[in-house]
Copies of this chain bind each other. A is one copy, B any other.
Amino acid sequence: MDTKDISKAVIGRLPRYYRYLGELLEEGVERISSNELSEKMRVTASQIRQDLNNFGGFGQQGYGYNVQYLYTEIGKILGVDHIQNVILLGAGNLGQALANYVQFEKRGFKIVGIFDVNPALRGIRIRGIAVQMVEEIPDFLNNNSVQIAALTLPKSRAAEMTELLVKNGIKAIWNFAHLDLDMPDDVVVENVHLSESLMRLSYNLNRLTDEQKEKG
Contact = CB atoms under 8 A, between A and B. Distances in A.
20 contacts: A4-B207, A14-B199, A15-B193, A15-B195, A15-B196, A15-B200, A16-B193, A19-B193, A19-B195, A41-B180, A92-B97, A93-B93, A96-B97, A103-B195, A106-B195, A107-B199, A171-B208, A172-B201, A186-B208, A190-B197
**Chain A interface residue count: which class?**
35 or more
B199 A148 contact: no
A52 B27 CA distance: 48
A92 to B, nearest CB: 7
A118 interface: no
Interface string A12-30: 1011101100000000000
A196 B11 contact: no
Interface stretch (A58-66, A72-80, A131-139, A161-169): A72-80
4 smallest beta-carbon distances between A and B, as pairs: A15-B196, A93-B97, A79-B206, A190-B201
Nearest to A99: B93
Contacts of A98: 194
Contacts of A3: 207
